[in-house]
Amino acid sequence: MVRKVTIKDVAALAQTSVTTVSLILNNKGDRFSAATIARVKAARERLQYEPDYFAQNMINKETKTIAVLVPDINNPFFSQFIQGVEEIAYQFDFIPLIYSAGVHNQKVDHYLKELVRRNVDGFILAVPHLQKTTLDSYLQKRQIPFILLDQSDKQHVGDEITVADTQGGELAARYLIEQGHHKVGIVLPQQRAWNIEQRSIGYQAAMLRAQLPVADDWQITTPLTKLGGYQVAQQVIDSGVTAVFAVNDELAIGLIRGLCELRVRVPEDISVIGYDNIDWCEYITPKLTTIKQPIFELGQEATRLLLNRIADPTIAPQQKVLSIELVERESVQVIHH
């Protein structure tokens, strides 16, 4: 096996000390003469010396890595979000490390502890229900930059990025009401992250404004997955609603599949609107009408805010709200009274 070239070899060839070589190669060699710098660089070239990443990290105290924690990488929402993160990280020479924290956050503590130990420069946390004590003990105490995404309960502890979710929920329900639906149900999880709760509040507000009732059995709870949507199809039929707002597209897609198997036509019998605008919306029958979140931009903006904070820890807290829009497709029917 070929022996790995070390910094000592470079120092020997350049006839100088290891410290001098280290400083010059880490661009901290201003105090050395041009001749010394040239000699060190020539020696490095000749030996094709690659600095050891971790040793360099000890000197620079910067790993150029950021950690991204999401609940579930399988959810197409997060795949799109991560692409946004990668795009900005790549532009600034940062490497994103992506982790699924588990639906019940079972891995959050483990990852935070280990990643802090590995000197990650900052965190993007898109997991719901993070304990304030967790953030304090791992990140704030050590002054490690982090950014919370709208999945997290509002902590207002610093940099934060949210989507206009209340407005989004209201827009979804209002659209169904404008199409002539008076019995409008909602499908959502029992345990709700902050952003999902906002969508529910928006739905309630639209129904109230239109002076429409919200019957108890119009509010159907189920896990926030395709399977969750699929499993409540019968419940949706039994509730007697003519339209349903599913608080994310995965729920909507599962629900449409379930209704279809029970011989209920969408939108002729029951209309369905989703939320997110994941790319699957275009590939199901009928194509899904939904509220579009700027998912890719959410990833980009979160990364931008985090890199700003890493570059200058003293800047004022950054708060950013992204807007939503309705995308009309084929899953909602007009009702003429």
pLDDT recorded at residue 137: 87
pLDDT recorded at residue 140: 84
Higher pLDDT, residue 337 or 229 = 229
Handedness of CA 277, 71, 315, 198 (dihedral sign): positive
Q: Quick check: 325 pLDDT over 80?
A: yes
* pLDDT, average across residues 198-214: 97
* pLDDT, average across residues 123-140: 86
Q: Quick check: 275 pLDDT over 90?
A: yes
Decide: pTM greater than 0.85: no
CA 62 to chain centre: 23
Q: Report the C-alpha gap between 119 and 122 in whole angstroms.
A: 9
Q: Quick check: 60 pLDDT over 90?
A: no
Average per-residue pLDDT in the chain? 91
> Which DSSP string do the residues of 146-164 spell out, in sequence order?
EEEETTSPP--SS-EEEE-
Question: Which of 36-40, 169-173, 208-212, 270-274 is the least confident region?
Answer: 36-40
Question: Which of 40-49, 144-153, 318-327 is the least confident region?
Answer: 144-153
User: Is the Cβ–Cβ distance between 202 and 165 less than 8 Å?
Assistant: yes
Which pLDDT band, with edges at 50, 70 and 90, does 193 fall under?
Answer: confident
Which pLDDT band, with edges at 50, 70 and 90, does 57 fall under?
Answer: low
Percent of the chain predicted with pLDDT > 70: 94
* pLDDT, average across residues 238-242: 98
Percent of the chain predicted with pLDDT > 90: 68
Q: How many beta carbons lie within 10 A of that of residue 71, not counting itself?
A: 22
The CATH 1.10.260 domain(s) of the chain lie at 7-60
Question: Which of 139-143, 153-157, 244-248, 280-284 is the least confident region?
Answer: 153-157
Q: Which CATH number fits domain 165-293: 3.40.50.11540, 3.40.50.2300, 1.20.120.1150, 3.30.450.40?
A: 3.40.50.2300
Query: Residue 305, exposed/middle/buried by CB under 10 A (0-12, 13-18, 19+)?
Result: buried
Q: How many beta carbons lie within 10 A of that of residue 16, not counting itself?
A: 17
Radius of gyration of the chain (CA): 26
* pLDDT, average across residues 79-108: 92
* pLDDT, average across residues 10-19: 91
**Domain spanning 65-163+295-322, CATH architecture:** 3-Layer(aba) Sandwich (3.40)
Q: Does domain 7-60 have CATH number 2.60.40?
A: no
Q: Report the C-alpha gap between 38 and 40 in whole angstroms.
A: 6
The CATH 3.40.50.2300 domain(s) of the chain lie at 65-163+295-322, 165-293
